[in-house]
Amino acid sequence: MSNLRETLYLELELKIKTNVEGISFDPQIFRHFDLGGRYQEEIHGGFEMAYETHVGIKFPTGFRSPNGLVYALRWDRRSTYSLINENGTYYLAHHGKVIFPVEFLERPDYYAKKTSDGTSMSTIVRFGQYGALTVCYSNECALKEKDHDCKFCNINATKDAYAEAEGIGWKNPKQVGETVAAAYSEGARHLTITGGFVAERREVEYYLDVADSIKEHTGLDDFNGTACVGAPHDLGIIDKYKEAGYRTIATNIEIWDRNIFRAICPGKELQCGGWEHWVKALEYEVEVFGRGKVRSNIVAGIEPKESTLEGIEYLASKGVICFASSWCPNPGSALAGHRSPEPAWHIDLYYKIAAIYRKYGFTYDELYDCYAAPTSIVHDIYRIEEALLPAFKAQVA
């Protein structure tokens, strides 16, 4: 068991390295690949996470390591990590030397279905592994109207690039309800509703309508949903999300250092009450939803590590599970072309975050229920420590 954990931690550190540095490959490597059939294709429902756009060229959404960790496929043709195909088998390599064979993620059955209005369900609800779903209902952010986009974000650029080619756009509540019901019938068990900024009143009305539609189509009063929303000016609005049936709530502060927050997130500073209001909103959300049922996120690598850890520790002490996602300088964002810190910086950060979570007693189930992507590094640390991966069961058998 200890040897398996050591191997998994090596695979986990490699996952972080490929997240930060990307993976290079010739797009033609997938020309005979059953993408969109057996294997799950990438759909740009929110952000382009590759280091350059690839309109009209489909990529797999990710793959598994030999012991079951889920890797994202972030394309960067400059990376020293690469995907190669030898006689029909795909391998992850470094400087051309094979590391291990990869298993691409299979496409869920509901991706082949359509809603009652004829829309492909694959464009409505993204499948993110471990039974988790994400709806990015708005593929653009209204902060752009005053040039107040967050500097690291490319949601508007992604919409401009991919909306027509991939048929993505605003998702109405009925489409969401029908698709979630189809996915839940196949074993999905958690849903996050998120999107770019829209007018506050429009946002809350939409979330309430979506909750009603999901309950109607699934027959579930508790559909294990996370409402990912901006900090409302009227904090009393937060109660409405709880009343509508969302089990958890998320409000992403993005940057903890308040001065860097002002510079990187001008819209959240000038239009949404500023850093202090975002912190107050998170603390109020704990009062409404309870400890461990509120999530935030920091984009890791833009501010000093100590600042990020200070924010995660403070919020954890208040009952908020604050994640950190490795900053990828996305194409189309104001910070495109910049560099994220080296992988070792991120590796150290994630281990320290996991230690903070354990210090405050957060469980794996709490992490799962409040986060949109349970393939995160800290989720994996918990899976390794608590022997939750299939590889552990196979070893015992």
What's the fold here for domain 109-393?
TIM Barrel (3.20.20)
- pLDDT tens, 228-241? 999 999 999 999 99
Across 180-201, average pLDDT: 92
Q: Which of 205, 140, 218 is nearest to 176 (CA)?
A: 218
Gap between the Cα atoms of 234 and 248, Å rounded: 19
3-class secondary-structure state, position 154: coil
Beta strands in the chain (DSSP E): 62-64, 70-72, 81-86, 89-94, 97-101, 103-104, 126-127, 132-136, 190-194, 225-228, 248-250, 294-300, 320-326
Give the model's pLDDT for residue 169: 87
Judge whether residue 211 has pLDDT over 80: yes
Above pLDDT 90, what percent of the chain?
A: 91
Gap between the Cα atoms of 363 and 233, Å rounded: 31
Judge whether residue 396 has pLDDT over 70: no
Q: Model confidence at 1, in pLDDT bands (50, 70, 90)?
A: low
3-class secondary-structure state, position 388: coil
Q: Model confidence at 395, in pLDDT bands (50, 70, 90)?
A: confident
Q: What is the DSSP letter of 361?
A: T
pTM of the complete model beyond 0.85: yes
Count of Cβ atoms closer than 10 Å to residue 28 Cβ: 9
For strands 320-326 and 294-300, give the pairing. Answer: parallel
Gap between the Cα atoms of 66 and 12, Å rounded: 11
Give the model's pLDDT for residue 397: 59
Higher pLDDT, 293 or 139: 293
Q: What is the mean pLDDT of the chain?
A: 95
Judge whether residue 319 has pLDDT over 70: yes
Q: Spell out the domain ranges in the chain.
A: 21-104, 109-393
